[in-house]
Structure 1
């Protein structure tokens, strides 16, 4: 999934050492605001010091965040994790039509017959037809 918006907050980076592997880790969270009649905000994280430096996200920057959502359970409560795997900037970010998947299509014309409760009836094939089912 992906969303395009303006970076409105960069939270403090967190890190530590894995108890299982002994390797160090780092994660940082960012907040973007998605424009629209009712602007929405999304917090996402980037895992790994190398990726944090590679993306180099700046405050007030317009970006498209490509992300995955996962949930995890901790002490009987569930938490969502929105982890970014790619950041696009500039023309690359604006050329993606799915950058605002939550934007309502208010002026879209319905397809012909879209409001009809039942499909149109079909004329019988005629006498001598092998299809004698009533539907």
Structure 2
């Protein structure tokens, strides 16, 4: 399932690499939603981490992402996993990063939490 959202970058975290070799990086995008703006956290994993390298807080972007969900020890978790970022320029798109989704990672064991 592919989804998109547009908003302004609030925060870009530093990349995190876990002992298993799994790497992720998170970005928060503020989406105007009526009276109350929403701060949406999106994660980028493995080779998609590099998509955030040239971005800065304050930029307007359109992000393509998938919703991922999984169960871990009786609890359920959802993640928004980004795979494309387009920098918007007032009237339209001025540049983009990424253009293909990676298959869902399947190398996580029961004790490995990728978040």
TM class by smaller structure: 0.5 to 0.7
Written as runs of structure 1 = structure 2, the 5 A alignment for 1:109-120 is none
What SS does the corresponding residue of 1:58 show, helix, strand or coil?
Answer: coil
Instruction: Give 2:16's aligned residue.
Output: 14
Paired residue total: 87
**TM-score, scaled to structure 1:** 0.58
Higher Cα radius of gyration: 1
Greater fraction helix: 1
CA RMSD of aligned residues (A): 1.8
Cα distance in 2 between the residues matched to 1:17 and 1:68:
25
Q: Which consecutive unaligned segments of at least 5 residues does structure 2 have?
A: 95-115
Q: Which residue of 2 aligns with 1:34?
A: 31
Q: Where does structure 1 lack aligned partners over 5 or more consecutive residues?
A: 19-23, 94-135
Equivalent-residue separation in structure 2 for 1:54 and 1:29 (angstroms)? 11
Residue number in structure 1 paired with 2:104: none
Q: 1:51 aligns to what?
A: 48
SS of the aligned residue for 2:5 comes to: strand
> How many angstroms apart in 2 are the aligned matches of 1:78 and 1:36?
26
* Structure 2 match to 1:110: none
